[in-house]
Structure 1
Amino acid sequence: MLILKPNSETVTPAPSYFAVTALTYTMFFMFAMTTDAVGEIIKIAKGDMNLSNTQASAFHWATMTAIALSGILFGYFADKFGRKKTIIAGLGLYGLASASFFMGTSFQLYFSLLFVSGLAIGIFKTAALALISDITTSTEEHTRTMNALEGFFGIGAIVGPLLVISLHARGISWTYLYLFAAALCLVMIIWAAFTSYPQTKKSTDEPVNLWKSFALMSNKYAMGFSMAIALYVAAEVSIFVWLPSYLEGYTGTQIATWMATYAVMVFFVFRALGRFLGIWILKHIKWTTVMMIFSGVIFVCFAASAFFGQTVAAFLMPLSGLFMSMMYPTLNSKGISCFPKTKHGAVAGLILFFTAVSAAAIAPLMGFVADSFGGDMRYGFILATILAGLLFVGMIYNFIKDPAASALKQANITEYNQ
């Protein structure tokens, strides 16, 4: 596990520092375990509840819509009420929603609980992202730490689908995944309650409120990074939501059939490995170069998978996870780091809003496109390929112009005393 060095000017004594870092990593592991298992859950629920692709996509967009609302409406909580209180509140709500999956088996109940869990994720995730700024000493370290954090998210994304597959194979309901998540939440709430968190020093006397969060929409850095992340998320979500459906029923060679069966799991393995690898890569290669090259490879993987069919998709879609790995945490980190630490909660909330809006929109849109062509999900992936292409174009521009360079350089001076 990556162990960070505290900034003595902004954090509490070192004994609580390791606990705070480990707890943050565990939080991301826990909610990834449920949210990124949605593709496997959808595949099961479609049969159990006789749902169309469009209807089944609600299992995903209910959570994503709620995360979007929570990010924009409650993102400033971490700046106003503190990271610790906000994290405990979010975990409490998430644990309650997860435990309630055993109250019934109706589509309406599941939809409602997924929406509530999304609100909770928005609350504790923005606080956790803001906390990263309190335990790092430069914008560069912030980016590497964000990749490590998302690496643990990636591990949870592997465990979640694997648990759902294992439960289903044994005739056990996928809802037991949420019971496990509820238990983890209880452990983390107790853990957080008895842990001393870093204290963020206020560098301004301006009030922290909802309107300040909305005002960030006029900022070129906030919106530029948000739009780039929205395009990336659309590509990523298309894989773990719809790839199981695209490859369902595929038969080919033994290795191709195995890859098709475990495509999402392999994708998540590559994504997790890539994020830990990113800690090293970003020390040696400029981040704008990495983003351009990797987004180009992602576009090629999508285009080949959409136009050459299931056999190609069974190999290239999982492989794209290795190149997707560094995109989200790096863009997220750079977007947040363009601002003072006292605004990091609000900025993280705004970026999370666009992240979740994109994730919520692409799933039903791909389902609708596929249903319009007789249920063939290949047409949904053609749409995802177009969005991956737009991301590549954006990263070419970012490489050539490097529009955030001056803001990041200034942040190292004013926020991290570099």
Structure 2
Amino acid sequence: MHRARSIAALVSCYFLFAILMNSVGTVILQSTLSFGVSKAQAASLEGFKDIPIALVSLLLASFIPRIGYKVALTTALLALSIVCVVVPSIPHFWMIKLLFAAIGSSFALVKVSVYSQVGELSDSKAAHSSLLSTIEGTFMLGVLSGYWLFPLFFGDAAQSFDWLNVYYLLGGMLLLTGGLVLFTPLPEPQCNKDGRVSGGLRESWMQMIRLAIEPLVLVFVFCTFLYVLIEQAVGTWLPTFNHEYLGLPLSVSVQLTSVFAASLALGRLAAGLLLKWIPWFSLLTGCVLLMALLVLLALSFEPSVSGSVTGLTDIPAAAWVMPLIGLVMAPLYPVLNSLILSSREKSQHASMTGLIVVFSALGGTTGSYITGWLFHHFGGQQAFLLTIVPMIILLFCLIGFRRLTAPATNLLQGS
């Protein structure tokens, strides 16, 4: 019963942060309309989100087990709830930047805590992979919910600030989730079970550095960086692609992006089942090749959307191809994370998760900035076409990762 309650609390945290973290594409589009900022200025929101993630993870990831997961989670949830409630009262672009800096800082604490507790709540590698895939799948369900939640608050005029009222609701949900975490029995870090604090802050940082220079970990973080670069390039700019390149109405552009999130959710939830029959290397390389094929297919169609589109049922079939890339993209992230975490002692999970978060954040920021720059100078078609380049590099990184893990004991069934 305690394990089920703990998992429910972790899933609730991750679900909420999924809405907030992946709202950046919607907010970029709305900021260009409501605040009149350029695409380049709006793209800076990805940096305001991801750079704090990287910094907080780098500084505190190894330290979180010493203060406890519950303290880290409740601090992140309650602090962010305050910022969310303030946002609608200050309708300025600088406040949106501050909001995303707070979202990024809080998410760093949440992700390190959640990933570390997956190890504490799992008694085998198979259980670890299953739980992590479930949590990541739930994360994508949160992303999906966000693409439908935000349009409910869109005003009639494009320049309206009504959409900011969504943060009142999100602030209240964060507060309630903070209360849930506070009164839920969460597993204590292993280093604290004997009542002693293990090591100092300097030693914690050194542990992370020692991990980062291992060949296997180096290849892994490159895989993580490239995957998130691709995912954020597509996910962040898909609403703008739908609106400008395909000519879809604003609300429909955002809602269609929810198909991308739904595809990611379905793919991640299915990853655990697929690994029972397909070796992890075959599954992931197949996914990368299918991603590239779907990008080429999606961009081979000329936009043929007329002004008669009022809902998802009116969208031509060609417009659905790009969002469906999420289906084959989805298994990469949770499977790679589970592979590397399962190969580490539980006492190293916080440090390893810190590296995952840092390089995920750097990949997300890089993907968004590059795609935004390409959108501005060359248009949406060329911007999305060039995502094939990191896909090719990712394929070679997976080959290297496989060679480094080959001498070791199988980490997942089918590997």
Same fold by TM-score greater than 0.5: yes
Alignment match of 1:226 (pick from 221, 230, 248): 221
SS of residue in 1 equivalent to 2:276: helix
Cα offsets for 1:104-158 (capped at 9, x unmatched): 0111121122112211110121111100000112222212211100111011101
CA distance in 2, matches of 1:107, 1:196: 39
Does structure 2 conserve the Cα–Cα contact (< 8 Å) formed by 1:34 and 1:178? no
CA distance in 2, matches of 1:347, 1:165: 37
Equivalent position of 2:69 in the other structure? 83
Equivalent position of 2:165 in the other structure? 176
Alignment match of 2:341 (pick from 333, 336, 340): 336
Q: Mind listing any 5+ residue stretches in structure 1 that lack a counterpart? A: 1-14, 413-418
Structure 1 residues 112, 172: CA separation in 2 closer, same or farther (over 3 Å shift)?
A: closer
Equivalent position of 1:316 in the other structure? 321
Residue 188 of structure 1, CA deviation: 1.9
CA distance in 2, matches of 1:214, 1:335: 16
Equivalent position of 2:187 in the other structure? 198
Does structure 2 conserve the Cα–Cα contact (< 8 Å) formed by 1:267 and 1:318? yes
Equivalent position of 2:34 in the other structure? 48
SS of residue in 1 equivalent to 2:386: helix
Alignment match of 1:65 (pick from 51, 68, 74): 51
Structure 1 residues 308, 71: CA separation in 2 closer, same or farther (over 3 Å shift)?
A: farther
Residue 295 of structure 1, CA deviation: 1.3
Structure 1 residues 175, 169: CA separation in 2 closer, same or farther (over 3 Å shift)?
A: closer
Give the share of equivalent positions with the same residue, in percent.
22
Establish whether residue 283 from structure 1 lines up as the match of residue 276 from structure 2.
Answer: yes
Cα offsets for 1:329-356 (capped at 9, x unmatched): 1112212222211110111011110000
Alignment match of 2:208 (pick from 206, 213, 231): 213
SS of residue in 2 equivalent to 1:197: coil
CA distance in 1, matches of 2:38, 2:329: 29
Equivalent position of 1:10 in the other structure? none
CA distance in 2, matches of 1:260, 1:404: 42
Establish whether residue 145 from structure 1 lines up as the match of residue 150 from structure 2.
Answer: no
Cα offsets for 1:395-414 (capped at 9, x unmatched): 34445x2x2255565899xx
Establish whether residue 16 from structure 1 lines up as the match of residue 30 from structure 2.
Answer: no
Structure 1 residues 250, 357: CA separation in 2 closer, same or farther (over 3 Å shift)?
A: closer
Equivalent position of 1:109 in the other structure? 95
Does structure 2 conserve the Cα–Cα contact (< 8 Å) formed by 1:250 and 1:260? no
Taking the TM superposition and a 5 Å limit, the aligned residue runs for 1:233-382 are 233-249=228-244, 262-306=255-299, 308=301, 310=303, 314-373=319-378, 376-382=379-385
Does structure 2 conserve the Cα–Cα contact (< 8 Å) formed by 1:79 and 1:343? no
One-letter identity of the residue aligned with 2:391: A
The number of equivalent residue pairs is 392
Moved more, 50-59 or 153-162: 50-59
- What is the RMSD computed on CA atoms of the aligned residues? 2.8
Does structure 1 conserve the Cα–Cα contact (< 8 Å) formed by 2:122 and 2:128? yes
Moved more, 16-25 or 44-53: 44-53
One-letter identity of the residue aligned with 2:186: Y
CA distance in 1, matches of 2:300, 2:55: 35
Cα offsets for 1:297-345 (capped at 9, x unmatched): 1121223334655578723211111111211111122122222111101
CA distance in 2, matches of 1:79, 1:288: 32
Residue 392 of structure 1, CA deviation: 2.5
Moved more, 150-159 or 257-266: 257-266
One-letter identity of the residue aligned with 1:279: G
Does structure 2 conserve the Cα–Cα contact (< 8 Å) formed by 1:39 and 1:242? yes
Equivalent position of 1:6 in the other structure? none
CA distance in 2, matches of 1:391, 1:158: 26
SS of residue in 2 equivalent to 1:136: coil
Does structure 2 conserve the Cα–Cα contact (< 8 Å) formed by 1:62 and 1:111? yes
One-letter identity of the residue aligned with 1:321: G
Residue 261 of structure 1, CA deviation: 6.3
Residue 173 of structure 1, CA deviation: 2.5
Cα offsets for 1:154-176 (capped at 9, x unmatched): 11101111111221156662323
Establish whether residue 404 from structure 1 lines up as the match of residue 405 from structure 2.
Answer: yes
Cα offsets for 1:346-396 (capped at 9, x unmatched): 1101111000011012212221222223xx122222332211222233334
Q: Mind listing any 5+ residue stretches in structure 2 that lack a counterpart? A: 305-316
Does structure 1 conserve the Cα–Cα contact (< 8 Å) formed by 2:20 and 2:103? no
Cα offsets for 1:216-263 (capped at 9, x unmatched): 2212232221110111111111122111212224569x9xx9986643
CA distance in 2, matches of 1:250, 1:169: 23
SS of residue in 2 equivalent to 1:33: helix
Equivalent position of 1:189 in the other structure? 178
SS of residue in 2 equivalent to 1:318: coil
SS of residue in 1 equivalent to 2:275: helix
CA distance in 1, matches of 2:409, 2:92: 49
